[in-house]
Structure 1
Amino acid sequence: MTASELRALARGLKLSMRAFTSTGSPATSSTLGALFRAPGISDSEREPTLDRLAGFVEAAIKVLPARGRLPDWLNRFGLQRPETHDEAERLAAQLRAFIYPGEIDSPAIDLPQRLRMLDGLIVSELKNSKYEGASVAAGGYVFVFVSPRFPARMLFTLGHELGHVVAHHSLQSAHLDLATTIGRFRNRAEGFADAFASAFLLPALAVGGSLQAIRQVIRANADQIGDIEILILARLYGVSFDVAARRCEDLELLPRGGAASLAQYIRDHHGNPEKRAEALGLPARERVHFDVVSPVLMKFVHQSISDGGTSPSWIADRLGTSIESIYETHASTSGRRATTH
């Protein structure tokens, strides 16, 4: 079978070419694979995604500058108490102030772009996977992956993974998150990451101030916050209706159980929150852009290809992108040398 036929077969089966070849470093792949943890998920169930993630991280470490330790900025953060709701609020506010200095209450719709500026952090998409997100600490770098979904879902998943990173960055491990473990506010570790994401994307003061302004604009007279205010809040901050409503409930702006009741009402009478928002003529959501492969990483990919350290086909397979995409971005940045970030 030719290389092109293997590539077509791999694409059709949604597998990496690594599944059909012995190129690369089995020892490295095995080491990376051993890092991944997903409670209740067997090795056979998680293998396709693990294979792709291990291949991505292996290739990234090959082209990125060598590092002896994780980024120094991570040392600013860390759990001071058990994984409680209050601790999630504290850590979220701390990271907010670091990433959004002077504008800690602004919407974080540009969070994927802001994270490009953090040393040693690589954020990319996780294609063709049942997992919503993953975070990996390896080779002195932190890798965060988010699966292509509804943009509001992706933004919350990114916040969730950041919660794992800042709380557990001292652990040389990887974490895989299924849809059932994100946004459910269950068990300690996942509930903590959900609470962190909620607090980071919807800071308490911002929620209170925004709702007050929204109610003035729409001339709301009811004592209790309704679905329209929450729909506007969700679109303003780039999150889903469910996340915005749950945040309002946590901040005691809705009674306990109010978020679920409002969500059920919308589904019973309008299909889903997005249809309800469109029927009301609310402004469209602002676009949340996620990079298929981190531009920070791509700079070093281009440099490695130019220097002959890697081939376009090898790197494209492991990073889950196309040779054409590599050449296109290479051409758009030609003449520029990669610099450490």
Structure 2
Amino acid sequence: MPAFSQKMGIEEEAVLSVLNNIRSFSFSEISILASKYKMSITQFVSSNEDKLDFRFRSTAENLNQFTADQKVTYIVASLHSLLKKYASPSLIPENWENELTKDTAFVSRLVRYSLLDDDHGRPLLDLALLIAEKLNIFIIVKDIGVDGASAYIDGFAYIIISPRFAPRMLFTLAHELGHLILQHHQSSLFIDYNGVDVFRKKHHNILEKLANDFSTNLLMPEPVFARAIIDFKKEHQIPLDHIGDIDIINASHVFGVSFEAAAMRCEQLRLLPVGSAKSYYEKLLKEFRSPENRGSEVDLIRNKIPIFPNSASVNVLKSTFIAVDKGEISSSKLAAVLGIKLEHLFEIHSRFQDELYY
């Protein structure tokens, strides 16, 4: 806390008193914090969440996490009433049997079949497009200070992803989808404060482990993943007796995930000894600075990367553009909520002009 207070320019005693609900920040302190976190004062102290039927139950333990809460709540609260009016609810099952929600492999297969008309084992590099189109989940890509967050309100499902390395974003997206599909939202907001760590063996929260397991099974189904490794080895005449870093790098490229996620999948399927996934990763960082650099040395280039919207999924844009045209939200406010320049918003709007009313 002393280091944070010094960095922010606010007395440690003042920060602690706010975290302990003894007092609120003063206007000058709010101005400092808003400036440090590159937020407007209105955004930082916004009470728009009161327009929702409930306040999110925050689990923030420090000011950085509290700020992430504020950013996510601002986005969802700003969009929710508009989407309720101009969009349809998300298609998320609400009546899973309790035990079924723990069988992440089975549930992930059901989700794959609901998303894909054929070739149910193919890589899901277009997962963001699929869940917006098939499940009507509302996706926003904006830096919220953490990897990802999700919420489920009045039948409307939201996923917010921070711009990161695209394969990392894909795993985070599937992780947040897991929270939604497995019904982890009970009038609450899920924010992955510490990032989605595929190497984390022990989770303080069982729901985070289940979401990670769901993400792994959804993106890298066991039989398809194993077959991809075998086919690669046969094609390049690589012995089948062990899994090497090149095999894992290729698998990560095929399924659009990070090396870490693919290595952990190998470990889970007992293709690698326990603990070797992280060892491989650390070795590549030490010798090549990244798995991508190692792949480049043997002409393994990631030719296809996961697809994400620039700011928000089409279902978000179409509905909010109708609201802008009807004067229910200003274009400048919408641009601020989505985290894009006003000129960019107008450019996107012009592309949807003929499709807004249907």
TM-score computed with the length of structure 1 as normaliser:
0.85
Q: Quick check: 1:142 aligned with 2:157?
A: yes
Distance in 1 (CA, whole Å) between partners of 2:195 and 2:326 is: 44
SS in 2 for 1:137: strand
| Larger RCO: 1 or 2 (CA < 8 Å, sep 6+) | 1
Distance in 2 (CA, whole Å) between partners of 1:68 and 1:337 is: 11
**Residue of structure 2 in register with 1:155 after alignment:** 170
Q: Quick check: 1:15 aligned with 2:36?
A: no
Q: Quick check: 1:231 aligned with 2:246?
A: no
Residue 177 (structure 1) shift: 0.1
Residue 135 (structure 1) shift: 0.5
Q: Is the 8 A contact 1:16 1:317 kept in 2?
A: no
Distance in 1 (CA, whole Å) between partners of 2:49 and 2:210 is: 35
Residue 45 (structure 1) shift: 3.3
Give the alignment partner of residue 88 of structure 1, picking from 92, 104, 109.
Answer: 104
Matches for 1:181-330 after TM superposition, within 5 Å: 181-183=196-198, 184-187=200-203, 188-291=206-309, 292-330=311-349
Q: Is the 8 A contact 2:147 2:192 kept in 1?
A: yes
Q: Is the 8 A contact 1:238 1:285 kept in 2?
A: no
Residues 124 and 79 from structure 1, CA distance in 2 versus in 1: closer, same or farther, beyond 3 angstroms? farther
SS in 1 for 2:77: helix
**Residue of structure 2 in register with 1:28 after alignment:** 51
Q: Is the 8 A contact 2:243 2:272 kept in 1?
A: yes
Residue 305 (structure 1) shift: 1.4
SS in 1 for 2:318: helix
Q: Would you say how many aligned residue pairs link Structure 1 and Structure 2?
A: 323
SS in 1 for 2:354: coil
Distance in 1 (CA, whole Å) between partners of 2:313 and 2:351 is: 15
Residues 60-69 or 166-175, more deviating = 60-69
Q: Is the 8 A contact 1:132 1:146 kept in 2?
A: yes
Residue 247 (structure 1) shift: 0.5
Residue 44 (structure 1) shift: 3.4
Q: Quick check: 1:113 aligned with 2:129?
A: yes
**Residue of structure 2 in register with 1:5 after alignment:** none
Residues 221 and 248 from structure 1, CA distance in 2 versus in 1: closer, same or farther, beyond 3 angstroms? same
Distance in 2 (CA, whole Å) between partners of 1:160 and 1:148 is: 15
Q: Is the 8 A contact 2:123 2:254 kept in 1?
A: yes
Q: Deviations over 1:118-170 (max 9, x none)?
A: 344101113151x1110111243110011111111100001111111111256
Residues 152-161 or 134-143, more deviating = 134-143
Residues 191 and 100 from structure 1, CA distance in 2 versus in 1: closer, same or farther, beyond 3 angstroms? same
Distance in 2 (CA, whole Å) between partners of 1:45 and 1:193 is: 23
Q: Is the 8 A contact 1:36 1:50 kept in 2?
A: no
Distance in 1 (CA, whole Å) between partners of 2:343 and 2:129 is: 23
* CA-based RMSD: 2.8
Residues 92-101 or 74-83, more deviating = 74-83
Give the alignment partner of residue 181 of structure 2, picking from 163, 166, 188.
Answer: 166
Q: 1:233 corresponds to which letter in structure 2?
A: A
SS in 1 for 2:140: strand
**Residue of structure 2 in register with 1:334 after alignment:** 353
Q: Deviations over 1:23-77 (max 9, x none)?
A: x746227x66x31443xx3263333222222221122122223499964542375
Runs of 5+ unmatched residues, structure 2: 1-32
Distance in 2 (CA, whole Å) between partners of 1:282 and 1:204 is: 23
Residues 305-314 or 172-181, more deviating = 172-181
Residues 71 and 336 from structure 1, CA distance in 2 versus in 1: closer, same or farther, beyond 3 angstroms? closer
Distance in 2 (CA, whole Å) between partners of 1:264 and 1:21 is: 41
SS in 1 for 2:80: helix
Distance in 2 (CA, whole Å) between partners of 1:48 and 1:233 is: 36
SS in 2 for 1:113: helix
Residue 201 (structure 1) shift: 0.5
